[in-house]
Amino acid sequence: MPRNHHSVRGSTHIWEISFKAIEARSAGVSGATPATNDPKNPQVSRWILHLPHAHLPLTRLGCVVRTALFQRDMVLYEDVVDGHGDTTRRTLGQAVWVQRPDRNRRDFVLPLACSPQGDTLILETQNGDNPPIDLEQVQVFYPATRVLFKATAGDSIQLYYGNPEAVAPRYDLSLVAGELLAADRTVAEVAPEERLRKGAWEGHAILGKSGVLFWAILAVVVVGLLVIIARLLPKPPEPDSSAKEDKSQ
């Protein structure tokens, strides 16, 4: 996750920042045609969802459909590149969607068993010999988070996030929790997000294709050094020809 920060402006001593659950926009979802079609396997329908950020703590996916009658196994997954550069499928959630004409609701909720690592999700289903279903809307949700803190009006407050090595602070807030929660508060305005320079922790791990390239270059260097060392080593002395003649006599 990139290292970012927000500036906060407020006018009271008790400030509240509310991060509301927003809808993640999807690409190519509206309409009768799926986002991607595999010519080799036309019985599979896929919809690609592009999230605004990676590592979002998503809890569920919601769909709205126009098709009146169907039964499908829905799978939500993402393609993850490991440290060796190999791409693997990581399943986030799956469930059976049954829709009948007598059912008034046309929505479907798919709970997620785990949060995604990247910013691109794939919703997939097998149509069999049936026509593909027509999705009207796809949304993903994550829980709302609020930050409540006390500060002097006019202070310049910076909110930083994105460092996985940061640990939670430890304060004696439990002693004044009741007073803090009961105090009047004003919703603070968050300034536009600013991306800062990369933190030191972001250079520790070498992942994906860059990791494979690193090890390949390292192997070539090691082999080259071994060849040079072998050439620098002294050659073993050749056997004395006169000694051989004495032995033969």
Tell me, what's the pLDDT at 182?
A: 81
Whether pLDDT at 16 is above 60: no
DSSP 241: H
Domain for residue 246, yes or no?
no
**241: in domain:** no
On whether both 121 and 35 belong to a single domain, the answer is yes
Does one domain contain both 191 and 212?
no
Q: What is the pLDDT of residues 69-111, one digit of tens each?
A: 889 999 999 999 887 888 999 999 999 999 888 888 888 999 9
Domain that holds residue 61: 26-141
pLDDT of residue 66: 85
The pLDDT assigned to 196 comes to 74
What integer is the mean pLDDT of 108-125?
A: 91
Percent of the chain with pLDDT over 90: 14
User: Worst-scoring range by mean pLDDT, 5-19, 59-73, 131-145, 229-243?
Assistant: 5-19
Q: Does any domain span residue 116?
A: yes
Q: Is the pLDDT of residue 120 over 80?
A: yes
Mean pLDDT value of segment 29-44? 58
pLDDT exceeds cutoff 60 at 28: no
Same domain flag for 114 and 183 = no
Residue that wins the pLDDT comparison between 192 and 206: 192
Does residue 187 sit in the same domain as residue 87?
Answer: no
pLDDT at 210 over 80: no
Helices then strands (H, E): number in the chain?
3, 16
Q: Highest mean pLDDT range out of 8-12, 14-18, 111-115?
A: 111-115
Q: What is the DSSP-derived secondary structure letter of residue 52? A: S
Averaged pLDDT for residues 128-153: 80
What's the mean pLDDT in 125-134? 86
User: In this structure, are 135 and 33 located in the same domain?
Assistant: yes
pTM recorded for the entire structure: 0.58
User: What pLDDT, on a 0 to 100 scale, did the predictor assign at position 245?
Assistant: 54
And the tokens for 96?
A: 């059976």
pLDDT band per the 50, 70, 90 thresholds, residue 206: very low
In this structure, are 43 and 100 located in the same domain?
yes
Q: List, in order, residues 6 or more apart from 162 with CB less than 8 Å away.
A: 1, 2, 3, 4, 199
Whether residues 148 and 58 fall in one domain: no
Q: Residue holding tokens 């920042």?
A: 17
Answer yes or no: do 44 and 131 share one domain.
yes
One domain, residues 12 and 88:
no
Judgement on whether residues 37 and 78 belong to the same structural domain of the protein: yes
Looking at residues 20-31, what average pLDDT do you find?
A: 39
State pLDDT tens for residues 144-188: 777 777 777 777 788 887 777 888 778 887 787 787 778 777 777
pLDDT at 228: 84
- For the four alpha carbons of 46, 52, 57 and 60, in that order, the dihedral sign comes to negative
Answer yes or no: do 32 and 118 share one domain. yes
Please tell me whether residues 78 and 124 are part of one structural domain.
Answer: yes
* Span between the terminal Cα atoms of the chain, in Å: 83
% the chain with pLDDT above 70:
72
